[in-house]
Amino acid sequence: MNNKLFALKAGQRYTISPHLTLEFVRSQHSIIDTVFPVLHTPRGAVVYANDFKLDRTPVLGEPPDFARLRQLGKEGVLALIVESTNVSEKGRCPSEKIARDLVRDTITSYEDDKSAIFVSTFSSHISRVKTIAECAHEIGRKPVLLGRSMERYSSAAEQLKLVGFPESLSMFGNRRTVDRTLRRIMKTGKDKFVPIVTGHQGETGAILTRIVMGDTPYKLERGDKILFSAKVIPNPMNYGQRYLVEARAKMAGVRIFDDLHVSGHAYREDHYEFLHLLNPQHVIPAHGDINMTGSYAKFAEEIGYTLGNDLHILRNGQKVLIT
């Protein structure tokens, strides 16, 4: 690319033109170092808020910058483009600390177990990977990250000093190296390791899928455990693939632990708080299908917004002119 690249941290601004300024406001999500981009215009600010949660007790990083969000609301927010993913979920989205407790409670309960413990989560979810690795270390097993994306994300986060892993952790991404490592785990003793792997969506070629389908040197046995620290991303393909992985694993006598997870997306009461922090003149639900954006519209109407007036539902490629 010939375009100039500018590094912008949360709390900083970049002047695009005499009338446009970009600001990053600290946020929280299931990936680290996230921000709300805020575009300042002569008419007011446009806030882009997709992929966020209002986590006051995160495992990595700081909580969202509530003081700045409140100040933006007082300065004037012209439009809020906001995710609608979990607006139908009642209450508030649990903190990542809750997921840490769920994972820790499950893993540490098998401290004296001799069977295998595999954990699958999002490779980009560094705080979750950190939790799993620390729990493995706590029960005397070596955490091993397996898979290209696992190695890529975690090594990058470590190099940027955004996370610290236990010294016993190792990571391998290359397919041949992964297979060699799995062979070594079988030989050394599966009770000495906790492999942290991709494949919770049942993706073809992912490490867990390959193991379950018998496409690696590793042999699953009765009593081995697979912990899913991630939910299935809702589409028919993922549901079908995940079902096949679980079914094949159960045929081998593997014990399945599901939903050791909390979402990275705001729930209904988080959205209620967020709207009252920003008080936007216009609201544009996004980041969801028509059921999700429609649910957000119903929610926003309960607060006082009117569809077609200051509340807008758009399809991809559509525009709205705010005058």
Whether 183 and 273 map to the same domain: the answer is no
Residues 238, 130 contacting (CB under 8 angstroms): no
Burial class (CB in 10 A: 0-12, 13-18, 19+), 166: middle
Whether 176 and 46 map to the same domain: the answer is no
Q: Which alpha helices (DSSP H) does the chain contain, by range?
A: 66-75, 96-108, 126-138, 148-159, 175-188, 207-212, 236-251, 268-278, 290-303
Selection from 54, 65, 60 nearest residue 128 by Cα? 60
pLDDT at 6 (0 to 100): 85
Q: What are phi and psi of 75, to 5 degrees?
A: -75, -30
Within a domain: residue 6? no
Q: What are phi and psi of 83, to 5 degrees?
A: -65, 150
Whether 252 and 188 map to the same domain: the answer is yes
CATH assignment of the domain containing 161: 3.40.50.10710
Within a domain: residue 275? yes
Within a domain: residue 290? yes
Spatial strand order of the sheet with 282-286 comes to 13-17, 20-26, 35-41, 44-49, 77-83, 282-286
Per-residue b or e along 31-43, where b marks 16 or more CB atoms closer than 10 Å to that residue's CB:
bbbbbbbbbbeee
Structural domain boundaries enclosing 223 = 96-257
Whether 251 and 280 map to the same domain: the answer is no
DSSP conformational letter for 307: B
- DSSP sequence for 113-133: --S-EEEE--TT-HHHHHHHH
Per residue of the chain (323 residues), what is the pLDDT tens digit?
Answer: 688 888 899 999 999 999 999 999 999 999 999 999 999 999 999 999 999 999 999 999 999 999 999 999 999 999 999 999 999 999 999 999 999 999 999 999 999 999 999 999 999 999 999 999 999 999 999 999 999 999 999 999 999 999 999 999 999 999 999 999 999 999 999 999 999 999 999 999 999 999 999 999 999 999 999 999 999 987 899 999 999 999 999 999 999 999 999 999 999 999 999 999 999 999 999 999 999 999 999 999 999 999 999 999 999 999 999 87
pLDDT at 1 (0 to 100): 65
Whether 76 and 109 map to the same domain: the answer is no
Residues 91, 267 contacting (CB under 8 angstroms): yes
> What whole-number distance in Å separates Cα of residue 60 and Cα of residue 31?
9
Element spanning 286, H or E: strand 282-286
Whether 241 and 103 map to the same domain: the answer is yes
Whether 60 and 113 map to the same domain: the answer is no
Selection from 131, 61, 50, 41 nearest residue 84 by Cα? 50
> What whole-number distance in Å separates Cα of residue 96 and Cα of residue 114?
29
Within a domain: residue 253? yes
Whether 244 and 279 map to the same domain: the answer is no
Within a domain: residue 2? no
Cβ–Cβ contacts within 10 Å for residue 147, how many? 26
Within a domain: residue 186? yes
> What whole-number distance in Å separates Cα of residue 108 and Cα of residue 296?
40
Within a domain: residue 117? yes
> What whole-number distance in Å separates Cα of residue 305 and Cα of residue 32?
32
Within a domain: residue 4? no
Domain boundary residue among 232, 257, 282? 257
Selection from 99, 106, 95, 93 nearest residue 61 by Cα? 95
- Work out how many domains the chain is built from and give that number: 2
Whether 134 and 243 map to the same domain: the answer is yes
Whether 242 and 155 map to the same domain: the answer is yes
pLDDT at 238 (0 to 100): 93
Single-letter amino acid code for the residue at 293: T
Whether 226 and 150 map to the same domain: the answer is yes
Whether 195 and 126 map to the same domain: the answer is yes
CATH assignment of the domain containing 68: 3.60.15.10
